[in-house]
Structure 1
């Protein structure tokens, strides 16, 4: 059994709104084309119900910036 890769991303409220609006636009386009919206619906559920977690962001310099 192959383990599925999972991706975790951090979004602020503004970015979260952009993702939701983009998914809504994609769903509208698919509906107008008569195509299935199942995948977009699944993403809506995942993004909409994603837990919020507070964490500290530490900025690191890249190795080429240190030179």
Structure 2
């Protein structure tokens, strides 16, 4: 069975806030000596995601 995909639409401010929060989480995990693989994947996905212009009515 295929995994269900979810789409997240963010403006530039929300995207910047999301990246900042993920980096903070990664730093906390490093300080605790835990793995950061999942957070690294999310940071990569957010930074490489295509930007689409959406008209909001």
Give TM-score, length-normalised by structure 2: 0.95
* 2:19 aligned counterpart, secondary structure: helix
Partner Cα distance (1:55, 1:22) in 2: 24
Q: 2:27 corresponds to which residue?
A: 28
Large movers: runs of 4+ above 6 Å = none
Gaps of 5+ in 1: 59-67
Q: What do you get for the CA RMSD once the two structures are aligned?
A: 0.6
Bigger RCO of structures 1 and 2 (CA < 8 A, at least 6 apart): 2
Distance 2:37 2:56 in 1: 34
Alignment coverage as a number of residue pairs:
57
TM-score, normalisation: structure 1: 0.82
Q: Which residue of 2 aligns with 1:17?
A: 16
